[in-house]
Structure 1
C-alpha cells in the first residue's frame, strides 16, 4: 500500500501541470482559439444511467486561467465591497487636495508678481508687512487644507480597502463552506490556500496604496497639463500626438502584464499543494528514498513561478524606458514654448517649467501604478471566481422544515434511488428500492466498490441524488435543509474525526450535556478508564486531528460522541475497522444496548459484526443483489453472502 500511496501522491501534483499521455497538450493558442463549437459537451447517458463515449482522463484538471480584460463584474464586486458613500467621500477629499495643490501654485505666482512687494523701498512699512502677512496666512491656510485633504484621502482609502478585502474574504470563506465534497476532491488544497493567502494579501496591502497613488498621480498630471496650457496655450498642440503614443504603449503593455500576473498566480498554486502534501507524506517519502525526486519537483515548480515573475519584471522595465522618452518630450516642449512665448510673467514660466519637470516621475508612476492596479485586479478576479462557485443546497429550507424531534420513528425508504459522484461519471447506486422499518438493524455488505459507503453518503446528502428519493419518516430528505437533515442523523465514520481542543469539546462541542452524561458515554465506549488516566481528564487537550491519541482511541472518542447524540438513526461506516476484534465485539454490544430502539445501518467488512442483525443487504455494482435475514441468506449456498461468509470462516 505504501508504494501505491507514494506514487499516487506524486502523480497528483503532476496532474496540475502535466497533461495525460493520452490527451493532447493544451497550449495558449489552443485556449485562445477555443469557441463554443469546441466546448466540452455534456456526457451522454444510456438507458441504464451510465456515461457513454469518452470519459475524462483526470480527476484534477488544470487550474482555470482567465484571458483578456478583467470582467466588469469583478470591478462591480470591488466597488460594492468598498461602498458607495466611502467612494464619494474619497473623491471629495481627493478633489479638495488637488484644488488646494493647484491654488497654492497660483497663489505663490501671484505673491511673487505683487508690484508693491517687489519694490525694495517699501520694506518696513505697515502696508508691506500687512500684505506679506496676508499672503503668508492665505498660503498657510491653503497648505493646511492640502495636508488635511490628502491625509483624509489616504487614510479613508486604506481603511475602506481593508474593509472591502475583509468582506470579500468573508464571502469567499462562506462560499467555500457551502461547497460539496466533489469540489474538494477535484481541487488541490494549494489552490484554495493560494486564494486565501496571496490573493487576499494583495488586496490588504498593495491594492489600497496603488489605488490612491493612481488617483493622486492622475489628478496631478491633469493639474500639470492645465497649468502649462494656461501659461503657454500652444502646448496643447503637443498633447494629442504624445497622448496617442502613450495610449499605444499602454494598450500593448497592459494586456501582457495582466496575463503575466495570471500566470504568476496560477503557477504558485502547485508550489503550495506540493509543499503541503510533501509535509503530509514526509515519512513515506523518506522511507522509499524519494526525497531527491520530490525536492527536484519542488524546485521545478518554483522555477516555473520565478520565470513568470521575471517576465513580468522585464515587461515593467520595457515600459519604463518608453515612458522616460515621452516624459522628456513633454519637458522639452514645455520649456521651449515657455521661453519663446511673449507676455508671460517670469513667475508663471517658472511655475510651468517646474510642473513640467514633475511630469517624468508622475507619468512613470501613473502608468506603472495603473498597470499594477489592473494587474492586481486579477487577485480580486480570482477571489470573485470562488465567491461565484455554485453552492450545495441550502442548510436551512424555511419552507420545508421537519417537525421538532424528527425523525421520531426512524423508518427509511429508498424509492428508485440512483447516485453518481459527478455528472461525467457512471452511477454508483442504481435504482435502489428498499424499505427499512423503524428500529431495524441493517448490515450493508459487499465487495470493494459495490457502493456500501455511497449509500451512507446518500443518507446525509453529502452527494445529491441522480434520480429517485430517500424518505425518512414520511419526509423526502431532498426537500429539507442539510442542517435539519444531518442534525436528525448520527454517523460513526470510517476515518475518525477529532479537532484541536479538549476532550470535552470533542465530545460535546456545543456544551449541551453535563459531565455525568459525558463520563457515561465514555464508559460505554470503553474509553472512560483511559481518559481518567490523562492529565486534566476531560480538559486534556487533543492535538490537531487527535495526533496524540491512537487510531483506535480516536474511533472510540467518535463512538462516545455518537452515544451522546443518540438520534433515532445511526449510520456506521466500517467504524470498527481501526480496533481489534475483542474491542469490536465490545463496541457492537454497546451499540446493541444503547441504540436498541434506534434504526442502525452498519457498513461492515467484518461479517461477524452484523451476523446477528435483523437484515443483511448485499450490494453488487450499485444494486441490491440479496436481502434478508442472515439465516435466510446463509441457506442459499450459491449466494454471494454465503460465499463471503465462507471466506470469513463463519461457515464451513
Structure 2
C-alpha cells in the first residue's frame, strides 16, 4: 500500500510497466554472457593448439633416411621409454624396457589407465616419449612421420570407414591396381562379399561404413594394412567382431612382424602386463599362469571364473606345445641341411626327446599317458621342462 500523499499513482503505473521490460532485458544479457563465455572457450582452445609443440618433419632427413629394405624383420626394442603428456602431469609410461622379435605376437593387457593406449601413442609419435625406441635398430626419433607411420597400422575395435567407394577406402591415393586390391580382399576373405555387389570395387560405402558389419569393417582395415607396407600391426580387441579362427587365418598370409594384440591374448607368443604405466610381468602365457596367485595375469584370468580359467589354461598349454613342436621341427630341418652339406651320409634326428606333432589330440594323449592331466598344475611344469 502506498500513501497517496507520498507517491503519484501515475508514477507507480509507469514503474510497473518499465519493470516488466527490464525482465526481458536482463534475460537477454544473461543469454549473451553465456554465449560470450562459450565463444571465449573456443578461442582458448584455439590458442592452446597454437602453443602445442610442432610435430616432427613428415619426411626423414637425407642423412637419416632408412634403407629401402627397412624394416627387414621389424623387431622392436625399447630402452627406458617414458611418456608424460604434460610437464606437470603424471607419467603415462614409466621406464619401459623390452625386446620384441620380428614375427613375434605380443599380447598387451592391463586395466583401464594401465598405459596400453599410451604405448600406441608412443609408437605413432603422437606424443614424443623419453628414452629410445627402435625398429630394426633405427630410432623412431630419427625418422620422418611418413616413413614411420607407413610401416605401422592399427585396427581399432570399432573401425570407421570413409564415405565413398570400397576402392577409395582401400587405396585412397590410387597407388595400386585392381588386381592388387582383389588379391588382398581374397586374403582377408572379403572378396565374396564385394563381388556379390554389382558395383564391385566401386560399391558405395555410406558414412562411417554403416552398410558394413563391424567384423567386415575390421577386415577392411586389415586389407588396407596388407595392401600397404605395414610391418607392425596393432589390433584392439582383435576378435570382438570376427571369428578368432578366421582372423588367425587372415593374418597368416600377411607379412606382419610383431603384432600387438589386445584380445587374442592366450594364444600370443608372449604377454606383457602393464600396470600404472609400468611393465609388471612379461613372458609366455604358461609362464605367467605358473606364477599362481602372486601373478597379476593369473589373478586377471582367475577373475573370469573357474570354467573360463581352466579353458584358457588349457589353450595356453596347447599353444606352447604346438610352438615347441614347430620350433623343434624347424631346428631339426636346419641341422639336417647343415649335416647334408658337410657329409653325404644319411642324417640323424638331432632332437630325439622332442615329440613333434601338429595334431592337438596327439599332444593331449601323449601327455595324458605321462599322467599330466590338463587340470593338474604339474602339467605346466612339464610343459616348461620340455
Instruction: Give me the TM-score of the superposition, normalised by structure 1.
Output: 0.39
Per the TM alignment, residue 306 of structure 1 is displaced from its structure 2 partner at its CA by 9.5
Q: Cα 1:307–1:600, aligned 2, differ >3 Å: closer, same or farther?
A: closer
**Inter-partner Cα distance in structure 2 for 1:433 and 1:445:** 16
Tell me the secondary structure at the aligned position of residue 233 of structure 2: strand
- Select which of 276, 284, 298 maps to 1:629: 284
Work out whether 1:640 is the aligned partner of 2:296.
Answer: yes
1:209-608 maps to which residues of 2 (within 5 A)? 303-304=31-32, 390-398=53-61, 399-465=63-129, 467-577=130-240, 579-580=241-242, 583-591=243-251, 593-595=252-254, 598-604=256-262, 606=263
Q: Which has the higher strand share?
A: 2
Q: What are structure 2's unaligned runs of at least 5 residues?
A: 1-26, 37-44, 314-374, 376-386
Q: Which has the higher helix share?
A: 1
Tell me if the contact between 2:76 and 2:136 (Cα under 8 Å) persists in the aligned partners: yes
1:197 aligned residue: none
**Corresponding residue pairs, total:** 276
Per the TM alignment, residue 384 of structure 1 is displaced from its structure 2 partner at its CA by 9.6
2:16 aligned residue: none
CA deviation vs aligned residue, 1:554-599 (integer Å, no higher than 9, x gap): 222111111212532222233433x05xx233112321x123x532
**Inter-partner Cα distance in structure 2 for 1:301 and 1:552:** 52
CA deviation vs aligned residue, 1:65-106 (integer Å, no higher than 9, x gap): xxxxxxxxxxxxxxxxxxxxxxxxxxxxxxxxxxxxxxxxxx
**Inter-partner Cα distance in structure 2 for 1:564 and 1:542:** 19
**Inter-partner Cα distance in structure 1 for 2:261 and 2:35:** 51
Per the TM alignment, residue 611 of structure 1 is displaced from its structure 2 partner at its CA by 1.8
Q: Cα 1:475–1:532, aligned 2, differ >3 Å: closer, same or farther?
A: same
Tell me if the contact between 2:289 and 2:298 (Cα under 8 Å) persists in the aligned partners: yes
Tell me the secondary structure at the aligned position of residue 526 of structure 1: coil
Tell me if the contact between 1:555 and 1:576 (Cα under 8 Å) persists in the aligned partners: no
Tell me if the contact between 2:182 and 2:191 (Cα under 8 Å) persists in the aligned partners: yes
1:334 aligned residue: none
**Inter-partner Cα distance in structure 2 for 1:303 and 1:542:** 42
**Inter-partner Cα distance in structure 2 for 1:518 and 1:637:** 48
Tell me the secondary structure at the aligned position of residue 544 of structure 1: coil
Tell me the secondary structure at the aligned position of residue 538 of structure 1: helix
Q: Cα 1:450–1:386, aligned 2, differ >3 Å: closer, same or farther?
A: closer
Per the TM alignment, residue 300 of structure 1 is displaced from its structure 2 partner at its CA by 9.1
CA deviation vs aligned residue, 1:258-314 (integer Å, no higher than 9, x gap): xxxxxxxxxxxxxxxxxxxxxxxxxxxxxxxxxxxxxxxxx9999327986xxxxxx
Instruction: Give me the TM-score of the superposition, normalised by structure 2.
Output: 0.64
What is the root-mean-square deviation in Å for CA atoms of aligned residues? 3.2
Q: Cα 1:305–1:433, aligned 2, differ >3 Å: closer, same or farther?
A: same
Q: Cα 1:307–1:418, aligned 2, differ >3 Å: closer, same or farther?
A: closer
Tell me if the contact between 1:414 and 1:469 (Cα under 8 Å) persists in the aligned partners: yes
Per the TM alignment, residue 389 of structure 1 is displaced from its structure 2 partner at its CA by 5.7
Tell me if the contact between 1:602 and 1:610 (Cα under 8 Å) persists in the aligned partners: no
Tell me the secondary structure at the aligned position of residue 289 of structure 2: helix
Q: Cα 1:560–1:306, aligned 2, differ >3 Å: closer, same or farther?
A: same
Tell me if the contact between 2:197 and 2:203 (Cα under 8 Å) persists in the aligned partners: yes
Q: What are structure 1's unaligned runs of at least 5 residues?
A: 1-298, 309-381
From the CA coordinates, give the structure whose radius of gyration is larger: 1
Per the TM alignment, residue 414 of structure 1 is displaced from its structure 2 partner at its CA by 0.5
Per the TM alignment, residue 610 of structure 1 is displaced from its structure 2 partner at its CA by 2.8
Q: Cα 1:307–1:403, aligned 2, differ >3 Å: closer, same or farther?
A: closer
Tell me if the contact between 2:109 and 2:274 (Cα under 8 Å) persists in the aligned partners: yes
Tell me if the contact between 2:150 and 2:228 (Cα under 8 Å) persists in the aligned partners: no
Q: Cα 1:414–1:387, aligned 2, differ >3 Å: closer, same or farther?
A: closer
Q: Cα 1:511–1:425, aligned 2, differ >3 Å: closer, same or farther?
A: same
Q: Cα 1:544–1:642, aligned 2, differ >3 Å: closer, same or farther?
A: same
Tell me the secondary structure at the aligned position of residue 602 of structure 1: strand
**Inter-partner Cα distance in structure 2 for 1:603 and 1:441:** 7
Tell me if the contact between 1:563 and 1:594 (Cα under 8 Å) persists in the aligned partners: no
**Inter-partner Cα distance in structure 1 for 2:290 and 2:169:** 44
Work out whether 1:611 is the aligned partner of 2:269.
Answer: no
Tell me if the contact between 2:166 and 2:203 (Cα under 8 Å) persists in the aligned partners: yes
Q: Cα 1:449–1:409, aligned 2, differ >3 Å: closer, same or farther?
A: same
Q: Cα 1:424–1:584, aligned 2, differ >3 Å: closer, same or farther?
A: farther
Q: Cα 1:445–1:301, aligned 2, differ >3 Å: closer, same or farther?
A: farther
